[in-house]
Amino acid sequence: MAQRVAVVTGGMGGLGEAICIKLSKMGYKVVTTYSPGNTKAKEWLADMKKNGYDCHAAPADVADFDACAKAIKQIEAEVGPIDVLVNNAGITRDMTFKKMGKTDWDAVMHTNLDSVFNMTKPVCDGMVERGWGRIINVSSVNGQKGAFGQTNYSAAKAGMHGFTKALSLEVAKKGVTVNTISPGYIGTKMVMAIPKEVLDSKIIPQIPIGRLGKPEEVAGLVAYLCSDEAAFVTGANIAINGGQHMQ
């Protein structure tokens, strides 16, 4: 069987990097997208190669449909047809709704939700034609339960799963699965930037397991959903939050 190609958006840090490493270890050809303004892309690729991970990268503003289509064409020409898409890119613009402006709303919706359409549209037909594909949308516990100061983020992350459910119905008989994962608080740089007293007094006490999640644990769930063994899982939203929120 030919080596499968996996594309991970926002793969140069946090969860995305852990997912890239895991899929690379599993033998996938891994490509990450990165913001065109990212000056550390070459350095990241060199680090990955030095550590034994054969990763590739393509510049793309995931909020821009034409830029995504161009990046997908480049990836397919240089690496091969895309078998796995992990829609991981995301940003926050946290503030109360009273203070939130239209630009704060638009920035989060464009990057976190429009990007799912922008990246999935150019790859989905190819997956269907080849009879195999995996699309995994990285949502959040706050898309399930809401969060103070995150009307934009929670709306975008909840919208991802509506997309997942509808698209999964359309492609289910074609060998393509579409799923959402909803991580809780994971020990990424973004979360670790929260003041320790806030983590210790406000966040960790809400997590029954009593700790932050590890990026590698989320990557393991993504790896399962990418596998042949997960062929019967589609349209699902799998929580990975240490028991913080249960449905």
**At 11, is the secondary structure helix, strand, or coil?**
coil
| Burial category of 95 from C-beta neighbours within 10 Å (exposed 0-12, middle 13-18, buried 19 and up) | middle
What percentage of the chain reaches a pLDDT higher than 70? 100
Whole-Å CA distances, 211 to 165, 243, 244? 31, 11, 11
Which of 28, 34, 153, 185 is labelled catalytic?
153
Coil, helix or strand at residue 136: strand
Contact by Cβ (8 Å): 140, 183: yes
What is the maximum alpha-carbon separation in the chain? 54
Confidence check: pLDDT of 162 > 80: yes
Mean pLDDT of the chain: 96
Q: pTM score, two decimals?
A: 0.96
| Model confidence at 1: pLDDT above 70 | no
- Enter the CATH code of domain 5-233: 3.40.50.720
Note the pLDDT tens digit of each residue in 169-227: 999 999 999 999 999 999 998 788 888 999 999 999 999 999 999 999 999 999 999 99
Q: Is 224 an active-site residue?
A: no
